[in-house]
Amino acid sequence: MASILQLLMLSFTMMFTFMGERAVAGGIFRPSQWALAHATFYGDETASATMGGACGYGNLFQNGYGTDTVALSSTLFNNGYACGTCYQIKCYQSSACYKNVAFTTVTATNLCPPNWSQPSNNGGWCNPPRVHFDMSKPAFMKIAQWKAGIVPVMYRRVPCIRKGGLRFSFQGNGYWLLVYVKNVGGGGDISSMSVKGSRSGWISMSHNWGASYQAFATLGGQALSFRITSYTTRETIIAWNVAPSNWNVRLTYSTTVNFR
């Protein structure tokens, strides 16, 4: 017979609450160990070159990411599943390092593609299997002198601290719903997602690219809820009634739930 402690633990892990509250199955994201890599930068001091990006976050200023962003080499990018992940990066053993800066924290919003015309140790910095961070210039300038161009760094994954809840930006048409998930806390990443209309059951969404998921279904005229699972922690949360029945594409809907 199960002990009282086992029953309490089972009740906790199966806890689901409704109307915008958390549905939990998994753990809190914890920082990883420090590891060695290299970092460069792209664009200028305005960070205008970072807008958009492979993750699909659009205007990074309007969507809360600002200039503290980074493009990941494909080894880290993981076909877009690493979109939204957060890293602490510190310059390491270079004369270009700022000695009084412990680290800076950035969010992955873009892909640094391979450049096979250049050697991996001389220009092709993002060629697999290299682990590389191509930072926005303002972020790079927080840890090192920009004239260095490239510096060795230490990095680690850390929890993403976000203000407010998850945000869902809609694209598509009457038969196809494409959703970009933004402002993701905790691990910052998503492994799977489902949508539920007020007159339908749960419909599994497929990963499109970056931070977007799609459902080929007719969902017009229904209030929409979403079930999201973190790629890293496997925690699952449900955001109920995110969009009203008169929802529309090209709009963003905010929630009060987020990962930890």
Among 98, 126, 158, the domain boundary falls at: 158
Rg value, the chain, Cα? 20
Q: Do residues 180 and 132 share a domain?
A: no
Q: Is the dihedral of CA 179, 203, 247, 188 positive or negative?
A: negative
One-letter amino acid at 166 equals L
pLDDT tens digits, 1-23: 444 444 333 333 333 333 333 33
pLDDT of residue 32 exceeding 60, the answer is: yes
pLDDT value at residue 55: 96
Q: Is residue 23 part of a domain?
A: no
pLDDT value at residue 88: 98
Number of Cα atoms under 13 Å in the Cβ half of residue 134: 26
Q: Do residues 61 and 154 share a domain?
A: yes
Residue 23: strand pairing partners: 16
pLDDT value at residue 240: 98
- Kindly list the strands in the beta sheet with 212-215, ordered across the sheet, starting from the edge strand earlier in the chain: 236-243, 224-229, 192-197, 202-209, 212-215, 176-182, 167-173, 252-254
For range 232-252, the mean pLDDT: 96
pLDDT tens digits, 129-152: 999 999 999 999 999 999 999 999
Distance CA 196, CA 203 (A): 6
Placement of tokens 């402002």 in the chain = 183
Q: Do residues 91 and 171 share a domain?
A: no
Q: What is the CATH number of the domain that holds 215?
A: 2.60.40.760
pLDDT tens digits, 103-118: 999 999 999 999 999 9
| Alpha-helix residue ranges (DSSP H) falling in the chain | 4-13, 74-77, 137-140
pLDDT value at residue 28: 77
Q: Is residue 3 part of a domain?
A: no
Q: Do residues 153 and 63 share a domain?
A: yes
For range 16-43, the mean pLDDT: 70
Placement of tokens 């459902």 in the chain = 215
Placement of tokens 């963003």 in the chain = 252
pLDDT tens digits, 195-238: 999 999 999 999 999 999 999 999 999 999 999 999 999 999 99
Six-digit token string for 188: 């910052």
Q: Is residue 98 part of a domain?
A: yes
Work out the mean pLDDT of the chain and round it to a whole number.
90
Kindly state the helix (H) or strand (E) to which residue 179 belongs, with its residue range: strand 176-182
pLDDT value at residue 217: 96
Q: Do residues 153 and 174 share a domain?
A: no
Total number of domains in the chain: 2
Q: Do residues 246 and 190 share a domain?
A: yes
Confidence of residue 30 (pLDDT cuts 50, 70, 90): confident
Q: Is residue 11 part of a domain?
A: no
pLDDT tens digits, 149-166: 999 999 999 999 999 999
Among 100, 129, 158, the domain boundary falls at: 158
Confidence of residue 27 (pLDDT cuts 50, 70, 90): low
Q: What is the CATH number of the domain that holds 112?
A: 2.40.40.10
pLDDT value at residue 12: 35
- Residue 219: which domain range? 166-255
User: Which of 250, 249, 177, 181 lies closest to 219 in space, CA to CA?
Assistant: 177
Q: Do residues 146 and 180 share a domain?
A: no
pLDDT of residue 174 exceeding 80, the answer is: yes
Residue 3 is classified by DSSP as: -
Q: Do residues 72 and 148 share a domain?
A: yes
What does residue 167 show for φ and ψ, rounded to 5 degrees?
-125, 140
Q: Do residues 72 and 147 share a domain?
A: yes
Which position has the higher pLDDT, 9 or 193? 193
Six-digit token string for 225: 């809820």
Among 120, 140, 158, the domain boundary falls at: 158
Let me know: does 218 contact 65? Beta carbons within 8 Å: no
pLDDT value at residue 97: 97
